[in-house]
Structure 1
Amino acid sequence: MPKIKETTLEIDLKALRHNFEYLKSRMSPKTKFLGVVKAFAYGSDSVLVAKKLETLGADYLAVAYAQEGIVLREAGIRLPILVLHALPVSFNEIIDRCLEPNIYSFHTLKEFIKTASEKGQKEYPIHLKFNTGLNRLGFNTSDVETVAALLSETTSVKVKSVFSHMAASEDPIEKPFTLKQIDRYKTIVGQMERLLGYAFIKHMCNTSGILNYPEAHFDMVR
């Protein structure tokens, strides 16, 4: 009978450093780097990976849910942390732990403004996601004016970034579609900056976007 051994997961921080430095070499020195460490850093160790990215010089981190961000805060991580699926039930904790919510619907926008106002916040940083083709989450292009109007009525929150997500940046066949996404995104952020009257961080590229679409690096990549 074969001897059964426990499965061991090894995390190679040297490989992480190599990948980080390679991606940075493909970017402008002025472009920020957001490390996505959701789902326990994709099944590895979110605290270990986040601490390494912080040491290497990452500018931002992102998690899926607020609880993941709380774990990082309790581990001493001080980088800004974007919560990609910020749920109204977690809004109080998000503010208490200095996490930054991704807002992708009118419901979540109104609810977060309400929570921030009730907690006496001024210009609390939020991130807006717009759908340009992935069709998963996000405001639509037609929502720009309404979103801007809602934001102009409050001082409790302020837009830190507006972002979107490439649907097929790894596929050369889909390049025409990706270029259309980039054009839509440029239109959206141009309108938002004009209506809000201030600039914010712009980001769209995932890993394959970093490698294949340098013209879309904007202010930050993920």
Structure 2
Amino acid sequence: MKTSPRCWAEVDLEALRGNLAWIRHRVGPRVKILTVVKADAYGHGLKQIAALLMQSGTDIFGVANLAEAQAIRSVGEGWPILMLGACLPDEVETAVRDAVRPTISSLVEAQAFSAAANRLRQLLPVHVKVDTGMGRLGIEAARATELLHRIGKLPGLALAGLYTHYASAEDDPKFSRAQARRFQRLLDELADAGIRVPLIHANNSAALLHQPQTQFNLVRPGLLVYGVLPPGQRRDKSVFQKHLRPALSFKCRVSLVKTIAKGASLSYGRTFVAPRPMRVAILTAGFGDGYLRAGSNRARVLVGGQRCRVLGRITMDQMLVDVSRVDGIAPGDEAVLIGRQAGEVITANELAAWCRTIPWEVLTAITYRVPRLYRGSQAA
């Protein structure tokens, strides 16, 4: 006998397709789109999302590691893949063999890729990253021109791109403008030196919304593709949210409904004590499914079309919620952790705020034991 899942995520492929179409409209036909699909496509399921994006107009995929690149290759050949993370020394030859475009931050890295490309008799396109203020990967802007000169002389390498990454495009326009100026000065210096780079990119999702002047000829949306706005002080929900639809819903079921007395305590640590008699529903989701424990006693879920507060500590496989004001709730009923039910909605940004974190963590935390159910014309 087939049973329904206890906890699952639904992914609306048509929403994702529409989000990418809106991004395409916003940046224009001459700007290429690198779609970021790190961390299992932000928890949406890498292979299924890659297949959809291949049919929906993405130009390049952005990944964190070689395993993600190989997963994309298993879906379809031919798409350029940029590895946004650093390539470890023992991964260099595999990256060259699999035609994964690496991010270069130093001459040592460039020389290693050149040697591997020569051994394998391949010409490898590479992107150089410039650190303008993020402080992670990337060469200092003052040293970038010399690195590009040296790469131009290394056999087996083709300079395909140059990029930087904003540290706080959603919150700090002043610092973002300073980063943009540093990057532009480098571009001017390269132009004066006669160094031409085919692809120039800086804008992530937040910068794509707020800094169109630095979109250059490639943008790197991640969160926006999945229909979620980057949080922060610069967000203008009324302007942008109407164009985007969240692709992912996160759901579970009611396993038991019980009445507790005033003074009864709930869950580990007894962090919630009932101030009055209450009706409580036990739900079939917990931090083992990726519902963050930080939402304990703070988050809300939808049951019976109403917002219900999480009570006590979220445990590995279960959580408790207050359904005192919701009629007719029974075991087997659906509960919505992220998404819509009746006329109510809970967003990834809301859940992130309750958990004092960011929507990227909320989405990518959803674990392997939560099946992804795909909806839409491309669902397999």
- TM above 0.5: yes
Residue 158 of structure 1 and its aligned partner are, at CA, apart by: 1.2
Q: Which residue does 2:188 correspond to in 1?
A: 190
Residue 198 of structure 1 and its aligned partner are, at CA, apart by: 2.6
Letter in 2 for 1:12: D
> Residue 106 in 1 paired to residue 107 in 2?
yes
Of 198, 201, 205, which residue of structure 2 is paired with 1:200? 198
Residue 5 of structure 1 and its aligned partner are, at CA, apart by: 5.9
Correspondence 1:67-106 to 2 at 5 A: 67-85=67-85, 86-106=87-107
Cα 1:194–1:111 change in 2 (3 A) is farther
Measured against aligned partners, the alpha-carbon deviations of 1:5-42 in whole angstroms (never above 9, x if no partner) come to 62111111111112112222211220111100011111
Residue 63 of structure 1 and its aligned partner are, at CA, apart by: 0.6
> Residue 60 in 1 paired to residue 38 in 2?
no
Residue 74 of structure 1 and its aligned partner are, at CA, apart by: 1.6
Q: Aligned to 2:116, what secondary structure does the other structure show? A: helix
**Greater per-residue helix proportion:** 1
Aligned positions, number:
216
**Greater per-residue strand proportion:** 2
Query: After alignment, is 90-99 or 155-164 more displaced?
Result: 90-99
Write the distance in 2 (CA, Å) between the matches of 1:116 and 1:136.
Answer: 26
Write the distance in 2 (CA, Å) between the matches of 1:87 and 1:127.
Answer: 16
Write the distance in 1 (CA, Å) between the matches of 2:183 and 2:173.
Answer: 15
Does the 8 A contact of 1:126 with 1:159 survive in 2? Answer: yes
Write the distance in 1 (CA, Å) between the matches of 2:53 and 2:5.
Answer: 32
Write the distance in 2 (CA, Å) between the matches of 1:149 and 1:163.
Answer: 16
Q: Which runs of 5+ in 2 are unaligned?
A: 221-380
Measured against aligned partners, the alpha-carbon deviations of 1:105-126 in whole angstroms (never above 9, x if no partner) come to 333222112211222233x200
Does the 8 A contact of 1:63 with 1:81 survive in 2? Answer: yes
> Residue 175 in 1 paired to residue 176 in 2?
no
Q: Which residue does 2:261 correspond to in 1?
A: none
Measured against aligned partners, the alpha-carbon deviations of 1:79-122 in whole angstroms (never above 9, x if no partner) come to 10001122221122212222111112333222112211222233
Q: Which runs of 5+ in 1 are unaligned?
A: none
Q: Aligned to 1:169, what secondary structure does the other structure show? A: coil
Cα 1:12–1:48 change in 2 (3 A) is same
Letter in 1 for 2:107: F
Q: Aligned to 1:11, what secondary structure does the other structure show? A: strand
Q: Which residue does 2:159 correspond to in 1?
A: 159
Write the distance in 2 (CA, Å) between the matches of 1:102 and 1:148.
Answer: 13
Write the distance in 2 (CA, Å) between the matches of 1:219 and 1:130.
Answer: 17
Q: Which residue does 2:317 correspond to in 1?
A: none
Cα 1:189–1:89 change in 2 (3 A) is farther
Q: Aligned to 1:10, what secondary structure does the other structure show? A: strand
Percent same amino acid at aligned positions? 28
Write the distance in 2 (CA, Å) between the matches of 1:65 and 1:193.
Answer: 32
Measured against aligned partners, the alpha-carbon deviations of 1:142-185 in whole angstroms (never above 9, x if no partner) come to 212330232132231011100011111112xx212111111111
Write the distance in 2 (CA, Å) between the matches of 1:72 and 1:27.
Answer: 25
Letter in 2 for 1:145: T
Write the distance in 1 (CA, Å) between the matches of 2:210 and 2:195.
Answer: 32
Write the distance in 2 (CA, Å) between the matches of 1:125 and 1:193.
Answer: 20
Write the distance in 2 (CA, Å) between the matches of 1:151 and 1:202.
Answer: 16
Does the 8 A contact of 2:38 with 2:62 survive in 1? Answer: yes
Q: Aligned to 1:26, what secondary structure does the other structure show? A: helix
Q: Which residue does 1:45 correspond to in 2?
A: 45
Residue 48 of structure 1 and its aligned partner are, at CA, apart by: 1.0
Cα 1:110–1:219 change in 2 (3 A) is same
Q: CA RMSD in A?
A: 1.8
TM-score (norm 1): 0.90
